Amino acid sequence: MMTVQSCVKIRNEWDIVAARQMGRNVAKDLGFGTVDQARITTAISELARNIYLYAGTGQICIEEMNEYGKMGLRVIATDDGPGISDIRQVMEDGFSTSGGLGAGLPGVKRLMDSFSIDSESGQGTTINAVKWVR
Ligand X SMILES: Nc1ncnc2c1ncn2[C@@H]1O[C@H](COP(=O)(O)OP(=O)(O)OP(=O)(O)O)[C@@H](O)[C@H]1O
Question: Which residues bind to Mg ion, rule: CB under 5 A?
Answer: 50, 104
Beta carbon nearer to Mg ion, 11 or 64: 11
CB of 114 to Mg ion, least distance (A): 19
Choice from 21, 25, 85, 96 touching ligand X (CB under 6 A):
96
126 part of the interface to ligand X, by CB under 6 A: no
Beta strands in the chain (DSSP E): 5-10, 58-67, 70-79, 114-119, 125-132
Total residues at the site for ligand X (CB under 6 A)?
A: 21
Which of Mg ion, ligand X, none is residue 15 near (CB under 5 to 8 Å by kind)?
none
Q: Of 121, 120, 81, 89, give the one whose Cα is nearest residue 105.
A: 89
CB-count exposure of residue 35 (10 Å: 0-12, 13-18, 19+): exposed
